[in-house]
Structure 1
Amino acid sequence: MSDLILPDYRVQTDAVRNRFARIKKRPVTMEVKGVSKYFSSKHGTITALKDINLTIHKREFVCVIGPSGCGKSTLIRIMAGLEQASEGEVRLDGKAVDKPGPERGMVFQGYTLFPWLSVKQNIMFGLRESGYNKGSAEAEARQWIELIGLSRFENSYPHQLSGGMKQRVAIARALANKPKVLLMDEPFGALDAQTRSKMQSHLMEIWKNIDVTVFFITHDLDEAIYLADRILVLKSNPGEVQEIIEVPIPQPRHPDQFLTAEFLATKKHLEQLIHPANQDDDEDHLNLIRMVPVNDDVGSVF
């Protein structure tokens, strides 16, 4: 990629520029204001997050990337109300977030379905907890099952489903309660490449048809560019905002765009942010010693 002459990732077509202008006119759904998170250890205080600021508009799709240990999962747990910030606050529709709530759906990398419940019963669970009677919950669950294309499997149990099917059910269960924000922590990280690609397309189709704002953590640069309106790039030690990128790829997205100049330019810039050329890799260096002979009768393998 370094040999290609690529455009500036910040250059936007009129269509992309107009889309961002429309997004910025929408109401603000979620705000992260000066969020820092500290942890105590035997070596002193560790700063996991430092002064994170982000404004997310209604129906926007925001992805988060960064090196391991930059605090991505800590940030999303604070936004979910599962952890408290040491400083700053998260606000949803202007109200402080201090505990979990049905207005925020959560999908994790691991399959968090109840193994003793069928697909339909898993999706019904949250509806029943929020006051739906059995008939209404069942009717609502069936609509979601049809939306995710699993009508033939509504009475199947999680162990009878593929990984991609399980995550479709997890997404439907999270969305069935009609949350304002869907928080997703590397939901496709455990899937094989082919299934992951299908799930990305499924998610895009669901998002286009559902009134929900998405905040999505990933390690996959292609995935972030393909899905997101904007990408929040965090750096580690401490975890703080390095850049917020407006993705210059037109919507709606399709796989052919992975090869466009705009896509490649954005990916190259993200790679430079996460793996800078002058980065000191001493901590990651493997100090290997030769433990067994590595030559054979033919000679050295190098």
Structure 2
Amino acid sequence: MSLPAPAPPVVARFERLKQRPVSLSVRGLTKHFESPRGTVTALNNVSFDVHKREFMSVIGPSGCGKSTLVRILAGLETASDGEIVVEGIPVSGPCPDRGMVFQGYTLFPWLTVKRNVMFGPMMAGRSAFTAESEAREWIELVGLTKFENAYPHQLSGGMKQRVAIARALANQPRVLFMDEPFGALDAQTRCNMQSYLLEIWKNVDITIVFITHDLDEAVFLSDRILVLDANPGRVREIVEVPVPRPRSFDQIADPAFLATRKHIEHLIHPPGAEAKESFPVLKFSAPDPDVV
């Protein structure tokens, strides 16, 4: 399937993107797990580059290794083979130059919003005064100044994730990894958070790698989308999103948006492909002939 030809300004944007320095380089990334049935390959020879200030989403079918990939990139797990380099420095473990935001709410419940955001800078050796001043700037950026003295249990789900983003950015990482950060939110809050994230990304010198299973979310947020195959996880295609920036939800009905979404859907679920797994059907009552 061919996508509509991007408008000239969009083509120019991609050309400018490719001229930027590479923030994240992944080469031959492979991950094996040992199981009772033998060795399982979760990721196989994954290679791609992410350019400075790019927003790249990673999407694919269940079991393609999206979360495993991002945990390895963040240094939280080790690869079986391959190389990961962030701005010239090989990844060998967790480091402040790589931030991470998870799907679950990972705030310290005994600390206020301000203290949660201050935690990273203080651990890096900044004084309490400096850490507090910086934390207030990040809290203002995510729109939670009025809640800086609130505790996590007093916040909504979306507000907690905004604090988590502020806490990750307070360490001033070069690359921010986000593992389905809005997956647990209701639809309206999720849309709001997507808009918040784009506004934050516009105002911060940061490269984002965003894991999601939501096609609309991937197209709405991204410059490019890395599509993975499953069993084992490997690069199927890297799709350039021809939807102009700045983005708005009105664009969801645009032909370029719909064509990109359809193309990715066909990559993940090819037309006519049979399901690889079958599930047993359990009957708890006699079938009703009026129910189709």
User: SS in structure 2 opposite 1:113?
Assistant: coil
1:282 CA drift (Å): 4.6
User: SS in structure 2 opposite 1:131?
Assistant: coil
Aligned equivalents of 2:242 and 2:223: distance in 1?
8
Tell me if 1:67 matches 2:61: yes
Task: Pick the aligned partner of 2:83 from 82, 89, 92.
Answer: 89
Aligned equivalents of 2:197 and 2:282: distance in 1?
47
Aligned equivalents of 2:191 and 2:43: distance in 1?
31
Aligned equivalents of 1:71 and 1:212: distance in 2?
24
1:291 CA drift (Å): 3.4
Task: Pick the aligned partner of 2:92 from 78, 91, 98.
Answer: 98
Aligned equivalents of 1:290 and 1:153: distance in 2?
50
* Identity score, percent: 60
Per the alignment, residue 172 of structure 1 pairs with: 166
Task: Pick the aligned partner of 2:280 from 287, 296, 300.
Answer: 287
Q: Report the count of equivalent residues.
A: 292
Aligned equivalents of 1:191 and 1:76: distance in 2?
20
Per the alignment, residue 3 of structure 1 pairs with: none
Tell me if 1:203 matches 2:193: no
Q: Kindly provide the CA deviation profile for residues 148-190 of structure 1, in whole angstroms up to 9, marking residues without a partner as x.
A: 1111111000000000000000000000111100000000000
Per the alignment, residue 103 of structure 2 pairs with: 109
Task: Pick the aligned partner of 1:270 from 264, 267, 270.
Answer: 264
In the alignment, structure 1 segments of 5+ residues that lack a partner are 1-6
Per the alignment, residue 123 of structure 2 pairs with: 129
Task: Pick the aligned partner of 2:147 from 147, 153, 159.
Answer: 153
- Structure 1 residue ranges, 4+ long, deviating more than 4 angstroms after superposition: none
Aligned equivalents of 2:8 and 2:163: distance in 1?
37
- Report the RMSD for the aligned CA atoms in angstroms: 1.2
The one-letter code matched in structure 2 to 1:286 is F
Aligned equivalents of 1:279 and 1:14: distance in 2?
35
Aligned equivalents of 1:75 and 1:148: distance in 2?
27
Describe how 1:44-55 pairs up with structure 2 within 5 A: 44-55=38-49
In the alignment, structure 2 segments of 5+ residues that lack a partner are none
Moved more, 82-91 or 113-122: 82-91
The one-letter code matched in structure 2 to 1:292 is S
Contact 2:23 / 2:51 at 8 angstroms: preserved in 1? yes
Per the alignment, residue 214 of structure 2 pairs with: 220
User: SS in structure 1 opposite 2:125?
Assistant: coil
Per the alignment, residue 291 of structure 2 pairs with: 301
The one-letter code matched in structure 1 to 2:240 is E
User: SS in structure 1 opposite 2:291?
Assistant: coil
Contact 1:34 / 1:87 at 8 angstroms: preserved in 2? yes
Aligned equivalents of 1:265 and 1:102: distance in 2?
38
Q: Kindly provide the CA deviation profile for residues 130-162 of structure 1, in whole angstroms up to 9, marking residues without a partner as x.
A: 111011111111111111111111100000000
The one-letter code matched in structure 2 to 1:267 is R
Contact 1:258 / 1:264 at 8 angstroms: preserved in 2? yes
Aligned equivalents of 2:272 and 2:248: distance in 1?
34
Contact 1:10 / 1:246 at 8 angstroms: preserved in 2? no
Aligned equivalents of 1:160 and 1:209: distance in 2?
27
Tell me if 1:28 matches 2:26: no
Contact 2:24 / 2:86 at 8 angstroms: preserved in 1? yes
Contact 1:234 / 1:240 at 8 angstroms: preserved in 2? yes
Q: Which has the larger radius of gyration?
A: 1
Q: TM-score, normalised by structure 2?
A: 0.97
Tell me if 1:188 matches 2:182: yes
Aligned equivalents of 2:4 and 2:120: distance in 1?
42
Tell me if 1:243 matches 2:233: no
The one-letter code matched in structure 1 to 2:245 is Q
The one-letter code matched in structure 1 to 2:20 is R
Task: Pick the aligned partner of 2:252 from 253, 258, 263.
Answer: 258
Contact 2:4 / 2:259 at 8 angstroms: preserved in 1? no
